[in-house]
Structure 1
Amino acid sequence: MTTRPRPQVDDVTWTQLIEAVRQSGLYPTRSKAEQVTRTVLAALGTHVTGDERVDLARALPGEAARLIAAQIPATRRLTAARFVDEVASRTPGATSATARWDVSSVLGTLPNLIGDDLITRILAQLPAGYALLFGRADLSACSRSRS
């Protein structure tokens, strides 16, 4: 497995990450964007393991890295829909629809921060369906239907 050098985002800070999420999700305040980011990254941290988890933490600003690294890995992988439901359960007043928006708003900002190669590696270890949450087309269903 070859690892591409990290994109030139070394100067991205936690504040810049939160602002990117705020803009992506059209959140009215920085505080709301920060709450959503913390919730989604903590949930993601339970499902990314191994080298991908380490590389993800290294690629993110310090506060985000700590959120990922502080999580205990899950014993079973959740489908993308169950992952969204998990985020909803961690967010007071959330529905599946609002949680999906939140998850997509956070995860959709990650490819620009950490690079497509790492996103591809992360998606390879997650069940089908997560690609859409990262803002990618989910072509795995197409390739399975051709087999």
Structure 2
Amino acid sequence: MHWGAFIAAVQERGEYPSQEEAERSSRIVLALLGAHLVGEVRAELAARLPETLALVLLNPLQAHEPLPPERFIRATAAWIEGATEKTATWDVSAVLSVVADVAGEDLTDRLLLQLPPGYDLLFGRPQPS
């Protein structure tokens, strides 16, 4: 997917008033996500993202342990000026739902296997219990 199409999709899903806000959320969420993914799955996802965002995913912020979804949201809120957990949940979901669309069902399923339980909702792909 090209940069403009990806950012436009995030902007629409997140109902952001500006492209800059969609870009900011995309960079932060993908930098945090990249710290949770390894190997072939991370490389495959990077290959499907716009080049700028692929580099963000491949050069992630460091995580000492996989963060459960609640802590991932808190970490996102900490990186976005003025964000709350509620607004960060919105940001994360806007970006990750577009990532799921770009990745496709098979790759999204493999991404979710590398993440702690509960991320399926953030990707907009609730899994049956």
Normalised by the size of structure 1, how large is the TM-score? 0.84
What's 1:20 paired with? 9
Q: Determine if contact 1:58/1:65 at 8 Å carries over to the other structure.
A: yes
What's 2:90 paired with? 101
The 5-angstrom pairing of residues 71-90 of structure 1 reads 71=60, 74-90=63-79
**Out of 24, 31, 36, which is 1:47 matched to?**
36
Percent of paired sites with the same residue: 42
Letter in 1 for 2:94: S
- Relative distance call for 1:56 and 1:73 in structure 2 (3 A) is farther
Q: Which runs of 5+ in 1 are unaligned?
A: 1-11, 143-147
The 5-angstrom pairing of residues 128-139 of structure 1 reads 128-139=117-128
Give the number of the structure whose alpha-carbon radius of gyration is greater.
1
Q: Determine if contact 2:32/2:61 at 8 Å carries over to the other structure.
A: no
What's 1:7 paired with? none
- CA distance in structure 1 between the aligned counterparts of 2:115 and 2:39, rounded to whole angstroms: 12
Letter in 2 for 1:56: L
- Alpha-carbon shift at residue 74 of structure 1 (Å): 2.6
- Alpha-carbon shift at residue 75 of structure 1 (Å): 2.8
Q: Determine if contact 1:48/1:73 at 8 Å carries over to the other structure.
A: no
Higher helix share: 2
What's 2:115 paired with? 126
Q: Determine if contact 1:43/1:87 at 8 Å carries over to the other structure.
A: yes
Q: Determine if contact 1:88/1:95 at 8 Å carries over to the other structure.
A: yes
Detail structure 1 runs of 4+ shifted over 2 Å in the superposition. 72-75
Q: CA RMSD in A?
A: 1.1
Q: Which runs of 5+ in 2 are unaligned?
A: none
User: SS state of the match for residue 108, structure 1?
Assistant: helix
Normalised by the size of structure 2, how large is the TM-score? 0.95
User: SS state of the match for residue 109, structure 1?
Assistant: helix
- Alpha-carbon shift at residue 73 of structure 1 (Å): 5.2
